[in-house]
Chain A
Amino acid sequence: MGSPSVTTDQQARPDGRGLRQSMSDLHTWVGLLLGWVLYAMFLTGTVSYFKDELSQWMRPELPALSGVPDQALVAQRVADELVALVPGSPQWSLRLPDARNNSVYAFWRTAGAAPGQRGFGEGNFDPATGRTVSSRATLGGDFFYRFHFQFHYMPVVWGRWIAGIAAMFMLVAIVSGVITHKKIFVDFFTFRWGKGQRSWLDAHNALSVFGLPFHAMITYTGLVTLMALYMPWGQQAGIKTAEDRRQLNAELSAFIQPGKPSGEKAPLASIEDMVRQAQERWGRDGVGRVTATHPGDAAARVAVARGDGGRVSMSPQYLEFEGTTGKLLAVHEGVGPAAETRGVLYALHLGRFSDSVTRWLYFLVSLAGTAMVGTGLVMWTVKRRQKLPDPARPHIGFHVVERLNIASIAGLSVAMAAFLWANRLLPETLADRANWEIHGFFIVWALTLLHGVLRPAKKAWVEQLWLAAALLALLPVLNAATTQRPLWRSLADGDWVFAGMDLMCWALAALHAVLAVRTLRHQPKTRPARKAVNKPAGAAVLREG
C-alpha cells in the first residue's frame, strides 16, 4: 500500500511507533479503502429517512394523503384483492397505510415456484379501491433504501456482504479516529477557515465530533440489522431443531411462517374484524402489517402486527388468528431481553418511530455523517498533494483516488438528481419503466466517472457540482411542467410532501452551488509548505492555501 510518507515512517520506526501514529495510519487506510462505498451508503441512507415521502413524490398520480384511512377497511380491501390476484399463494403480507404512506405495499410467495426460481412477487395497492395503484411504474424511494445496503446489479447477498464489510471498516475508522484525536473535544472548537488542509481537517473533525454518537450508533446498528447474515455461527451451533428455529424466529419477526396446508379449501374469515381487535389494543392507526399463511386453506393463519410508531423498538408484537374462524390464538407482546435489545438497535437505525422533528434531526446528522466521509476522502488528496514531487504529474494512486472522489461525491449527487428527472421524464408506457429509472441513475453515474477522468480534476469537480446544482434547482420547474402539483398549488393545498420536496431541492441546489464556488476559488498549495510552517515567512505560504 502506498504513499511514500507511510513507507518512510515504517522504515524509520519499524514497530515501536506511537499508538496515535498507528491509529492515525489505520484510520487513514480503513477510511480510504471503502470510503467511496461508505459515502454512497451514507448519502442514499440519509435520503432514505424520507423514503416514504420520496415514494409519494415519485407517484404524483396518487392523491395527497388526507389523514390515515381506516386500517381495518383497507386491510380487508387489499386482502380481497390478493386472494383474487394470487390464489394458492402460501403466504402474503401487506403493509397498511399510515401518516406517511398513501399506498399499501404487499409481497407474496408464488405457489409452486421451482427451487432456484424467484418465488416472490410484490406490488403497491390503492387503499381506497384495493386495486393495484394506477401510477407510473417506479421503485420510488425504495431504490435508494435498497441500494443503501444491497446495491444493485448483483445478487442481494453479495451486496449485503459488501455493505457489511464497509460498515465494519467504518466502525474501525470511527474508533481509531477517536483514539487519533485525543484532544477531540478541544479540536471541535478550533476552526481555521481558509487554511487549506487545516480547514479540511477541522471541518472533518467538527462534522465527526458533532455527530459522533450518531455515527457510531448508526454504523453499529447497521451491522445489527443484518447480523444473522454476517455472524451465522452461533445460530448454526445452537439452533438445531425446527422448534428452536421457530422460537428464534418468533423473537425477531412478526412474519409467521407457513406450515403445512391441509389441502382442504376454506375461505378466510373477516380480516377487518381481526384488524379491529388490533386497533383496540394499539390505537386506530397503530397497526402495521397483516400476514396470512395458506389463505384459502383450512390451515390458514393470520398475524396482525403492530406498526413502527409509538415505540423505539422493532421487536415483534402481533396477534395471531386462526384464518378460517378469526379466533384469536395468541397475543405476542414481549420478547426476551437480547431480542428486545436487538429490536431497539434495529429501530434506532431505521428511525421509523420518528415524528417529523426527530426525522429531520436524523436527516441532518446523517448528512453530517455523509460530509464526514466526504471530507475525509478529499483530505486524503489535499494532504498528499503538498508532498507530491511534481503536482502536475501525480502518481497513479493519487490519480485514482482523486478521480474516484469526483465521481463518488459530486457524481453521486448528479446521478441521484438524474434518477428523479428520469421519474418525471420517462414515458409511462415504456416497457420495464421502473428499471429504466434505475438504469438512468447508473448510466449518469458512469458518465460522471468518465467526465471526471477526462477533465482536469478541478474543472471536473466544479462542473459536476454546478450540474448537480442545476439539476436540483430545475427539478421543481420540471415537476410543475409535468404534474398537476406545482409548488404554488402544493403550498396552497398544504401538500407538504410536494412543497417540501421542491423547497428541499432548492436548499440542496444552493448547497451544491456554494460548494462549486468554493472549489472554484480554492487554490491548492503546490509547494511543500511543511518546512516553511515554523518560520515567519511561512505565514505567507499558509495564507495562499
Chain B
Amino acid sequence: MTSVAGRVRAAFDAWGGPLVSRIVAALFGGYALAALASVAVLALPMSKPQAVLTGEMASFVIYAAAVIWVFAVRSALRAWAGLLVVAAPLLLAAWSVW
C-alpha cells in the first residue's frame, strides 16, 4: 500500500472510517431510503390518502431493515451499495409522482 489512494484508505480504516461510514449510512441513508419509499408508494394505483398512509406506515419497517442491512453486511461499501440498489427503482417511482 504505497499509493496515495492506499495510504488514504489505510488512514480511513485506522481512524474508524468504516464504522463512521456505516453509522452515517444507517442513520441518514436509512432514513432517506424510508422517506423515498414513502413517496414512491404514491405511484401505486390507490387513492392519495391511502397511499400516503401506507407509505408512512411502511417507512419505519424499511428504516429498521436498512439499519440491520448496513450492519449485517461484510463491508461499509457493500452497505452503501445495497442502499443505492434499492433506492434506484424507488427514486424512479418517486420521480414520477413528485
Contacts and interface: CB of A to CB of B under 8 A. Distances in A.
Interface string B6-21: 0000000100001100
A231 interface: yes
Given A14-B13, A23-B71, A238 B48 contact: yes
Interface in A231-254: 231, 233-235, 237-239, 244, 247-248, 251-252
A172 B75 contact: no
B88 interface: no
Contacts of B34: 231
Interface in A332-368: 336-339, 341-342, 345
B38 A233 contact: yes
A179 B68 contact: yes
Contacts of A339: 49-50, 53
Contacts, number: 115
A224 interface: yes
Contacts of B56: 224, 227-228, 230-231, 234-235, 342
B68 A172 contact: yes
Contacts of B63: 168, 171
A247 B35 CA distance: 22
Contacts of A22: 71-72
Contacts of B49: 239, 244, 247-248, 251, 336, 338-339
A235 B52 contact: yes
Given A175-B68, A227-B59, A228-B56, A234 B39 contact: yes
B86 to A, nearest CB: 16
Given A168-B60, A231-B59, A238 B71 contact: no
A336 B34 CA distance: 23
Contacts of A492: none
Given A233-B39, A238-B42, A337 B50 contact: yes
B72 A168 contact: no
Contacts of A175: 64, 68
B72 A23 contact: yes
B33 to A, nearest CB: 12
A238 B94 CA distance: 10
B38 to A, nearest CB: 4
Given A22-B71, A237-B97, A237-B98, A345 B57 contact: yes
A3 B57 CA distance: 36
A248 B46 CA distance: 13
Given A15-B75, A171-B60, A237-B98, A176 B51 contact: no
A210 interface: no
Interface residues of A, number: 41
B21 to A, nearest CB: 11
Contacts of A247: 47-49
Nearest to B14: A11
B52 A239 contact: yes
B67 interface: yes
A165 to B, nearest CB: 9
B42 A237 contact: yes
B64 A172 contact: yes
Nearest to B76: A15
Contact of A171 (B50, B55, B64, B71): B64
Interface in B61-88: 61, 63-64, 67-68, 71-72, 74-76
A32 to B, nearest CB: 14
A223 B98 CA distance: 25
A26 interface: yes
A251 B53 contact: yes
A223 B63 CA distance: 12
B90 to A, nearest CB: 12
Among A19, A227, A345, which residue has the most Cβ atoms of chain B within 10 A?
A227
B60 A244 contact: no
A230 B57 CA distance: 11
Contact of B52 (A168, A176, A238): A238
Contacts of B97: 237-238
Interface of A: 1, 10, 14-16, 19, 22-23, 25-26, 168, 171-172, 175-176, 179, 220, 223-224, 227-228, 230-231, 233-235, 237-239, 244, 247-248, 251-252, 336-339, 341-342, 345
- Cβ-closest 9 pairs across A and B: A234-B55, A338-B53, A227-B56, A338-B50, A234-B38, A248-B49, A336-B50, A338-B54, A234-B52
27 contacts: A1-B19, A15-B18, A19-B72, A23-B71, A172-B64, A172-B67, A172-B68, A175-B64, A224-B56, A227-B60, A228-B56, A230-B56, A234-B55, A234-B56, A237-B42, A238-B48, A239-B52, A244-B48, A244-B49, A247-B48, A247-B49, A251-B50, A251-B53, A336-B49, A336-B53, A338-B51, A339-B50
Given A168-B60, A234-B38, 12 more contacts: A22-B71, A25-B71, A168-B64, A171-B64, A223-B60, A224-B57, A231-B59, A237-B42, A238-B39, A238-B97, A336-B47, A339-B53
Interface of B: 13, 18-19, 34-35, 38-39, 41-42, 46-57, 59-61, 63-64, 67-68, 71-72, 74-76, 94, 97-98
